[in-house]
Amino acid sequence: MEHKFIPFALPDIGEEEIAEVVDALRSGWITTGPKTKRFEQDFSSVFDAVTESIAVNSATAGLHIALEAVGISSGDEVITTPYTFTATAEVVRYLGAHPVFVDIDPNTLNIDQTKIEAAITSKTKAIIPVHFAGLACDMTEILRIARKHNLKVIEDAAHALPTRYQGKLIGDLESDAAVFSFYATKTITTGEGGMVVTRNPDIAARCRMMRLHGISRDAFDRYTSTKPSWHYEVVAPGFKYNMTDLAAAMGIHQLKKAWPFQKRRQAMAERYDRELAGFPIKFPPHAAHEDMHAWHLYVIQLQSNAGMQRDRFIEEMSQRGIGCSVHFIPLHLHPYWRDTYKLKPEDFPNALAVYQSAVSLPLYTKMTDEDQSRVVRAIREIIS
Ligand SMILES: *Cc1c(COP(=O)(O)O)cnc(C)c1O
């Protein structure tokens, strides 16, 4: 009998993270301070082109202030994918702007770049590509379209650390900003957290200010600058999006592990490919040979000849002590997006079809080879 429950995701926290958090606790400085500053510096050093990294308390917060920093405002339109988490589109609404959804390419599950231009109107101001599961979008084409139509590009890189595209890391491309997530299930975690990276010093300065109440210098500088420590100026109605040093303490060590973690997840993805080959499953796409897929998620699609609907499959897996998930319920099926923008299921046929058969299999670095063998055995049993 097999008893241990295998969840679909689990964070991988080591003694280094624990010691660093304890160090922050003992230091007396637990909110934004020296550890956040170090995490930001370490983060920037990973990239060639990034000039600044701005740590925030979630990727949602980061997407919000990045869009604000590039000037998205009420009535603007922002093009994105329906095959994402609600945060991607929700931040557009925070600014009074409107998301315009463009269907996905059923092979990559990323926004179909060939359909973007048809969605552009005189109100379109930006594109938010989402690198689904950690596979880069066709950024060459997206950046070409953006340049041609004078649009901003904010990458939702919540799944994309580390993702490499045509030799460059996501974060190093010529978009306006990229935003990473350190939510508990993501490729690296700080519990909750996010990072905005940009090569544009004006965007960086605006994000830095807006993440903390629109105060012109952040708390760290306030206590280290030569001006009186009580002095600050509010120059905009900002937000409360700063990262704590407790979170940053985790991030410093998680970041160092991002590449070994990716290597492990890729090996596990390749093992799923190998050991499930021949079953009625559509496998997730890989990155081009010279590129890197972050493998945040391993999403299979059950084929019609699997003899089983997706919901039943997940139920059967659950009965065998294995947690699966679904990424994503497309936004146009959710009541808010459906009703606000009068969207019909068939408006995005590829997103709908993928969703109906998609299953995210367990994929995390703490999963053992034996855990993965159990997952493979269960799948073979269920769909044969
Ligand atoms: C997780 C996620 C987000 C939001 O990240 P948070 O750090 O939880 O705010 C945004 N976009 C996508 C695609 C995500 O998966």
59 lines ligand 1 (CB under 6 A): yes
194 lines ligand 1 (CB under 6 A): yes
From 85, 101, 163, 180, the mutation candidate for ligand 1 (largest count of ligand atoms within 8 A of CB) is 85
52 lines ligand 1 (CB under 6 A): no
Tens digit of each residue's pLDDT (9 = 90 or more) over 252-270? 999 999 999 999 999 999 9
Q: How confident is the model at residue 224 (pLDDT cuts 50, 70, 90)?
A: low
Residue 121 CB burial class (10 angstroms; 0-12, 13-18, ≥19): exposed
Segments in the chain forming alpha helices (H): 15-27, 34-45, 59-69, 86-94, 139-149, 201-210, 219-224, 245-275, 310-319, 335-340, 349-357, 369-383
Q: 35, 125, 152, 186: which is the annotated catalytic residue? A: 186
pLDDT surpasses 80 at 374:
yes
Domains and CATH numbers, the chain: 15-255 (3.40.640.10), 258-383 (3.90.1150.10)
From 54, 58, 60, the mutation candidate for ligand 1 (largest count of ligand atoms within 8 A of CB) is 60
Residue with tokens 């990045």: 66
Tell me how far the alpha carbon of residue 87 lies from the centroid of ligand 1, in angstroms.
Answer: 6
pLDDT surpasses 70 at 221:
no
Cβ–Cβ under 8 Å, residues 196 and 177: yes
Tens digit of each residue's pLDDT (9 = 90 or more) over 148-205? 999 999 999 999 999 999 999 999 999 999 999 999 999 999 999 999 999 999 999 9
Cβ–Cβ under 8 Å, residues 201 and 63: no
Separation of alpha carbons 54 and 199, rounded Å = 11
Q: Clarify whether 186 is annotated catalytic.
A: yes
Separation of alpha carbons 128 and 357, rounded Å = 25
**Per the structure block, which two tokens stand in for 274?**
């190998």
Tens digit of each residue's pLDDT (9 = 90 or more) over 10-60? 999 999 999 999 999 999 999 999 999 999 999 999 999 988 999 999 999
156 lines ligand 1 (CB under 6 A): yes
> What is the arrangement of strands in the sheet containing 358-361, beginning at the earlier edge strand?
281-282, 298-302, 358-361
Quick one: what percent of the chain has pLDDT higher than 90? 93
Tell me how far the alpha carbon of residue 203 lies from the centroid of ligand 1, in angstroms.
Answer: 21
Tens digit of each residue's pLDDT (9 = 90 or more) over 108-127? 999 999 999 999 999 999 99
Residue with tokens 């082109």: 49
Tell me how far the alpha carbon of residue 66 lies from the centroid of ligand 1, in angstroms.
Answer: 14
243 lines ligand 1 (CB under 6 A): no
Tens digit of each residue's pLDDT (9 = 90 or more) over 131-146? 999 999 999 999 999 9
Separation of alpha carbons 290 and 288, rounded Å = 6
Q: Whose CA is nearest to atom 5 of ligand 1?
A: 59
Residue with tokens 């973690």: 261
